[in-house]
Structure 1
């Protein structure tokens, strides 16, 4: 045997490695790797042959030639599958690659599992102008007509997409449903206008319907400042996201900035076309009215069975779904064509685990319960081949307080009964003698929406509507009225209505009313809820619109006006041992911009000198009896 050492040994080992590598590379059909070659490759298909699903990416052509990025996902072996479509501004690629797994339940949102595991074909599409889709992006693109001179909108894009899908997805049965929450709820509703014949069912969830009346940008005329962050994140290709105001107290940041216009200018937001549009339309003019989807649908005959869904504590879009329901019922739409669902959820929580909300706990996962017991059977009966019979409830709500699902024949499902503000900070079912209470509203010290510091993002934002209201109870600029301890349950099913008789020393004013469930002071079964003041509904009204939302006017100092508006829709049981409370205040900051309380043509452009203190007087009893009208159910 010859023993090799040193250089000779190294050469021998190199030759041996080459001798091994060459056959290996040849066996794999590859040339030996050049150690100095460019090591970047064009792409990698993360969907491997062992995946239990098919994932296709296609560019679907629209009638104007624009192509929209569309992802189609279904379990291998699927045939005669119903198509479930969502049209999104939040990235179809990411929506279908939650995890880069080889299991279909892992790559899709958790709410899709029940569907794809039963043969559904799931489709996500980027709306035009965003992410992978071609074309120009317009926020909540209006229907073609006076506000949209082009020939395309979300209705035509949905039609063209469905037409392509039923002709090209051979694994389908040619029947399509559409769903999605928030903006996706809006695109779902728009698909119902001149719908494609293959569209057989829709479940719009927390849809953006009327951005001025009660969804994202305004509520009854009061501007919602968090919309600036959404505008920046939604319409800027590079450098977007949240407004760069730092990580401190949002209350301080907005207060120091001044008016909405001053804030927008300070952070360069007036460079955004969508922000300029909102700032230019502070009142409910034709621009807002022409985009209101409830009005568009109410003027048409609904031809697609639709289940409208909203959360009772939806912090973003509480208005839209009930408004569409009421508009459709008003035009004679029967219950087998439109139904309403109100769950115990925050915005879009229906699509996630929903066992709790803030300090509140439910009987199991209410989101999963709804999806499996009601939503999927609704789609099944309209979309499946050899479909089962439809047994969709006309109205499905979750009775918080007693924590159970309920079915009602219509909505509201209670008889409106006034609960009057009364003397000694009381509430009474009977009208009392006349009296009043007053407080000073100071724009320099607005009432906060949450205990400070405030960050309108994350879990704090998601749960703020169910936060314990004791943090403001007792402030000198907040009035609290309460019943005695209840000796029997009180069940309300509908949208409580506010009739506030009030006067101001200023020329304008905001009024905020909160309907609150006050828990017993002692609660050994759940000590965290002892004395808890749970807001059942919170809503604002901007005083200048007392005579109409399209006709703002200055208020006459000292004159008593009747300000009337509604709180969000609820199904709630006030239990024995609890009390009912109503709080009244004139700011809810920084969620809503401050009312200067002097007269300015546009509050958006108020100057520092315009912000003044005002004395607000709330009348009760007699001919000026303030009340909250509760939709009391007959259990």
Structure 2
């Protein structure tokens, strides 16, 4: 069993190295082997200086650089998991012959300037690359590494094509994806034109106030190191019950209602999915060319799994250099957001066990960097598949040369019922047979009593939503959820890839949402959610225009694709839920046809899903046959 493909039993947690070491022991070991240069104020082209810590091997050798830029606190003084994690990453990098450089985005902590979420100049990244390249300890090669907000900026800056940027490892990077193909998420702010409320909660927790203490311009490195021991500049906002706070209407007053900072939120909450402002900041859009090798990490229960996978495919297809197109690799883990290395021998995601999901992430990542930043000859490309993906249900790592796997064949299941698919106790069916005569199911959607989010592909919402797989049976007793279930499977099937769905809708309101959820039903009735999506109906014809409904008409609605890899065992059933809300995972549509963000009162909608030969509502699954 080779060192790249085996499961690492003594896994060094890439994000959780702090579990193995105390902060003091890590810093003590770093001091023995590293030159540590903290609070280096790296100048940008406009004169703004960004606070940077540098850890590099002792001696005079020139070394490659692993660079992380982050909005989060990495001050090494005092307690804190993030700080210990930073020191542990630096220690591992230095041991392996790299310099580790970590920097705060402009306007964050000791960095100068004003912060705007992914709106800071792209030139900051380019200027940082140039500065590092010019250091006498640099070999001129830089690799990018980070998860979530430490990864999201990587793609847009990579598209600037700096000559020193040799490779990147973006992990859980979805909030940096603006538009890719059919996805107009604009940094996870939207899904299908409906607001994802995770950033409402996230901004409250992380944003610094405009009246925060500021270090005087021109402070010396010596002064900054001394000050950082006493003044951490880390805000600690009062605790908020997000399960209650996210219910506030109008949603534009969310931060005002909880006494949070408003400026950035106020701008974003008013932007429509195709607003030009989304294209002026730090988001990556698919007209920007990435032409460096990438080792991408995603996870099945992350908020942006489908656009993440779409971006991976986009780069494999569009990079101008054929060798770069061929050097894009992907890992898809069965975990929550940024929780790759928290997998154990019995990994529980929500309530569902997905087995031993461990992988030797660190060995693979450093083999990747050794290849591109040191020029070492190793077996990475021979031993590591283009795509490593974990299949839940059979609970094993699989591999493929493409995503979806080439063997996946789209298999369509149609919605059927006798007109009473409401709830788990209704007569909704999923069948490969085309429906016949006209049939439909009707439910009432009241935005003041939305379907609660229960588990799912989410992060960062505080106590409002727990991510992962949870038994949906209790939810499915609601009459505003249509439930369609297949026959009992007489043999197991693997579903791996993008899941496409089309629903035919009529309504008595101008605008509403459609939601869908894919579920694995166990023989004992447990119903575990796999993925979910939503579509705001006014955007069914594109995000550059709003087209409202008229009563009596039937409209085709194609929902944004879902994604999973799940083995439905023999004796299980495949199920989908259809409704018009999944709150507070997504903001409620108030059904008025108005702005939604500035409205306090909703309209009750009577929504009908049609399924007939003329209106074949359906879901298409990528099935891999044995």
TM-score range, shorter chain: 0.7 to 0.9
Counterpart of 1:311 in structure 2 is 299
Q: 1:201 to 1:378 in 2, by over 3 A?
A: same
Q: 1:100 to 1:76 in 2, by over 3 A?
A: farther
Q: 2:608 aligns with which of 594, 608, 617?
A: 617
User: How far does residue 65 in structure 1 lie from its aligned partner after superposition?
Assistant: 2.2
Distance 1:236 1:278 in 2: 17
Query: Does residue 622 of structure 2 align to residue 627 of structure 1?
Result: no
Give the 5 Å matches for 1:18-167: 51-54=31-34, 55-57=36-38, 58-74=40-56, 79=61, 81-94=63-76, 108=86, 115-141=93-119, 153-154=121-122, 156-167=123-134
Matched position secondary structure for 2:166: strand
1:266-300 deviation line (CA, Å, top 9, x unaligned): 3455x62211211221342222355584535x442
1:68-121 deviation line (CA, Å, top 9, x unaligned): 1111224556955432111101023259985799xxxx6636666654442232
Matched position secondary structure for 1:52: helix
User: How far does residue 429 in structure 1 lie from its aligned partner after superposition?
Assistant: 0.9
Query: Does residue 288 of structure 2 align to residue 288 of structure 1?
Result: no
Distance 1:245 1:389 in 2: 49
Q: Point out where structure 1 has 5 or more consecutive residues left out of the alignment.
A: 1-43, 143-152, 522-530
Counterpart of 2:485 in structure 1 is 482
Counterpart of 1:177 in structure 2 is 143
Distance 1:621 1:266 in 2: 46
TM-score, scaled relative to structure 2: 0.80
1:543-573 deviation line (CA, Å, top 9, x unaligned): 1111211211221123211111234322221
Matched position secondary structure for 1:288: helix
Q: 1:350 to 1:75 in 2, by over 3 A?
A: farther
Counterpart of 2:170 in structure 1 is 204
Q: 1:548 to 1:402 in 2, by over 3 A?
A: same
Q: 1:627 to 1:169 in 2, by over 3 A?
A: farther
Counterpart of 1:415 in structure 2 is 409
TM-score, scaled relative to structure 1: 0.79
Distance 1:427 1:99 in 2: 47
Q: 1:174 to 1:361 in 2, by over 3 A?
A: farther
Is the Cα contact below 8 Å between 1:432 and 1:622 reproduced in 2?
Answer: yes
Counterpart of 1:39 in structure 2 is none
> RMSD of the alignment, in Å?
3.2
Q: 1:225 aligns with which of 191, 197, 222?
A: 197
Distance 2:60 2:520 in 1: 50
Q: 2:596 aligns with which of 603, 609, 613?
A: 603
Is the Cα contact below 8 Å between 1:217 and 1:227 reproduced in 2?
Answer: yes
User: How far does residue 182 in structure 1 lie from its aligned partner after superposition?
Assistant: 1.5
Distance 1:604 1:95 in 2: 42
Q: 1:227 to 1:513 in 2, by over 3 A?
A: same
Q: 1:292 to 1:506 in 2, by over 3 A?
A: farther
Counterpart of 1:467 in structure 2 is 470
Q: 1:262 to 1:168 in 2, by over 3 A?
A: closer
Is the Cα contact below 8 Å between 2:37 and 2:53 reproduced in 1?
Answer: yes
Q: 1:176 to 1:118 in 2, by over 3 A?
A: same
Counterpart of 1:327 in structure 2 is 314
Residue correspondences, number? 552
Matched position secondary structure for 1:568: strand
Matched position secondary structure for 1:412: coil
Matched position secondary structure for 1:108: helix
Counterpart of 2:340 in structure 1 is 350
Distance 2:514 2:606 in 1: 12
Query: Is the deviation greater in 500-509 or in 374-383?
Result: 374-383
Counterpart of 2:432 in structure 1 is 429
User: How far does residue 584 in structure 1 lie from its aligned partner after superposition?
Assistant: 0.6
User: How far does residue 63 in structure 1 lie from its aligned partner after superposition?
Assistant: 2.2
Distance 1:279 1:459 in 2: 21
Q: 2:208 aligns with which of 236, 240, 245?
A: 236
Matched position secondary structure for 2:128: helix
Is the Cα contact below 8 Å between 1:501 and 1:619 reproduced in 2?
Answer: yes
1:242-279 deviation line (CA, Å, top 9, x unaligned): 986844xx454444x3221243443455x622112112
Distance 2:282 2:409 in 1: 28
Distance 1:618 1:359 in 2: 31
Counterpart of 1:403 in structure 2 is 395
User: How far does residue 512 in structure 1 lie from its aligned partner after superposition?
Assistant: 0.8
Is the Cα contact below 8 Å between 1:222 and 1:592 reproduced in 2?
Answer: yes
Distance 2:387 2:328 in 1: 9
User: How far does residue 489 in structure 1 lie from its aligned partner after superposition?
Assistant: 1.7
Query: Does residue 164 of structure 2 align to residue 193 of structure 1?
Result: no
Select the structure of larger CA radius of gyration.
1
Counterpart of 2:226 in structure 1 is none
Q: 1:612 to 1:73 in 2, by over 3 A?
A: same
Counterpart of 1:448 in structure 2 is 452
Counterpart of 1:533 in structure 2 is 527
Is the Cα contact below 8 Å between 1:299 and 1:331 reproduced in 2?
Answer: no
Give the 5 Å matches for 1:430-579: 430-433=433-436, 434-450=438-454, 457=461, 461=465, 463-521=466-524, 531-579=525-573
